[in-house]
Structure 1
Amino acid sequence: MPETRSVHLPVLYFGTPVALITTVNPDGTSNISPISSAWSLGSRYMLGLGSGGQALANLRRVPDLVVNLPSSDLVSSVEAIAPTTGRFPVPADKHPAYRHEADKWTLGGLTPVASERVAADRVDECPVQIEARAVQIIDIDGGDAVAVEAEVLQVHAHETILRDDHSDRVDTERWRPLYYSFRHYFAQGAHVGANFRAPLLDEDARV
């Protein structure tokens, strides 16, 4: 077996999907925040946010949000807005890496579309758009970051990524989500296997 050693990794993102979080600005427009710390369990989505960003400031005022999941072909749009912040003036802890940008939509070549159950806009180009509402905000890392628990209210998906059997299931051969690992972007790789429950999921949409 290979030898191991104790290490201090600068980041612990071993490979997570990129999410574009939209929240409601004070002027009623929607801010876009690219994040790489998001996961779901049941009807809840957990989001990791920096404490100095516009997303958190917006959620403390209006809890509405949308978790937009981009495909790998949107990497240039994601990276275009990655070094920007909706906060003005730019918080000290974001200098000099970030600059203020009020209109991230135009910068990223993205299109806002009205949600059905929340005030925040959806990102039309993202194949999956999850309308949600923050129900709990938990300080972590001594207050430098927060964990947001959001209740999922409505999910939208592009027809192009859904299976043809109208089972409301994503066809994994049709969608390549954008992933983030150690500050690099990746597309979903080759199919190398299936979980033992996969046949059950294929046969019974209730599972």
Structure 2
Amino acid sequence: MFLDFTALLPQQRYKLLTATVVPRPIALVTTVSPAGIVNAAPFSFFNVFSEDPALAILGLESRRDTGTIKDTTRNIIEGGELVINLADRHMATAMAACAADLGPERSELEFAGLTSTPSHMVAPPGIAEAPIRFECRLFEMRRITPLRHLCIAEILALHARPGLVDAATLRVDTSAYMPVGRLHGTEYCETQDRFNLTVPQPGAQKPFGGEQT
């Protein structure tokens, strides 16, 4: 099958992209409004971008019905700071609840039953239940289309649940860290089934068999 994306509607492209580029990590982003309300919203158009500087990227969508930017985008633009909380299986249901369409005067944390915890370097709090959270400041916000912003955030600090990161080696215990990934629609996945791969050296047998070249 061949599909020309230029001939598809945005909704059709979204359906195909979110069902094929999987699993995607989930950023449960906390920000603070000028009125002091803590906002939390999950995003799966998210990943890390570089380590020097340490950057993460977020795809932020405006409201399709009105074209107005959502609370997270507005708070990042106005406040310049955010916390990226990563969700594990234990808080997956609460993470999904943060996607509820609440007004800017209500905090999703209270609605979802999550607990805020103070940050060290930024104003927005993190989520105490999150196994990993990154304190970030805005590096660049770029409006790609009337409905889409690209947020580049500089990671200033990392918080990890006790036992997840070895202080001496900085190795992460992947058996204890159980992040969830986004598939599509209402489907998510766990990351407990793992396997190891090594990069073959030049001259080694081809990974899938066949003669050497």
Residues 105-148 of structure 1: CA distance to partner in whole angstroms, max 9, x if unpaired? Answer: 121111101100000000110011100001211112x2211110
Q: Does structure 1 retain, via aligned residues, the 8 Å contact 2:38–2:107?
A: no
Q: What is the number of equivalent residue pairs in this alignment?
A: 179
1:111 aligns with 2:108: no
AA aligned opposite 2:85: N
TM-score (norm 1): 0.79
Residue 11 (structure 1) shift: 4.3
Mapping 1:162-177, distance limit 5 Å: 162-163=165-166, 166-177=168-179
Match of 2:156 among 153, 156, 165: 153
TM-score (norm 2): 0.77
Match of 2:57 among 46, 53, 58: 46
Q: Does structure 1 retain, via aligned residues, the 8 Å contact 2:37–2:104?
A: no
Q: Secondary structure at the match of 1:73?
A: helix
Deviates further, 7-16 or 75-84 = 7-16
Match of 1:123 among 111, 124, 127: 127
Q: Does structure 2 retain, via aligned residues, the 8 Å contact 1:75–1:185?
A: no
Q: 2:138 corresponds to which residue? A: 134
AA aligned opposite 2:75: N
AA aligned opposite 1:45: A
Residues 4-56 of structure 1: CA distance to partner in whole angstroms, max 9, x if unpaired? Answer: 44375424132211111011112223210111111112101111111321001
Q: Gapped runs of 5+ residues in structure 2?
A: 5-11, 63-68, 201-213
CA distance, structure 2, for counterparts of residue 194 and residue 84 of structure 1? 42
Match of 1:72 among 89, 94, 110: 89
1:187 aligns with 2:198: no
* Structure 1 moving runs of 4+ over 6 Å: none
CA distance, structure 1, for counterparts of residue 128 and residue 134 of structure 2? 12
Residue 178 (structure 1) shift: 1.2
AA aligned opposite 1:105: L
Residues 128-173 of structure 1: CA distance to partner in whole angstroms, max 9, x if unpaired? Answer: 1100001211112x2211110111111111123224x732221111
Q: 1:6 corresponds to which residue? A: 3
Residues 40-91 of structure 1: CA distance to partner in whole angstroms, max 9, x if unpaired? Answer: 1210111111132100111111011000001122111012222224447xxx
Coordinate RMSD, CA, aligned: 2.0
CA distance, structure 2, for counterparts of residue 37 and residue 195 of structure 1? 28
CA distance, structure 1, for counterparts of residue 71 and residue 26 of structure 2? 18
Q: Does structure 2 retain, via aligned residues, the 8 Å contact 1:39–1:45?
A: yes
CA distance, structure 1, for counterparts of residue 156 and residue 177 of structure 2? 23
Residue 196 (structure 1) shift: 3.6
Over the matched positions of the two proteins, sequence identity in percent amounts to 26
CA distance, structure 1, for counterparts of residue 84 and residue 148 of structure 2? 18
Q: Gapped runs of 5+ residues in structure 1?
A: 89-101, 198-207
Q: Secondary structure at the match of 2:72?
A: helix
AA aligned opposite 1:169: R
CA distance, structure 2, for counterparts of residue 104 and residue 5 of structure 1? 41
CA distance, structure 1, for counterparts of residue 198 and residue 46 of structure 2? 22
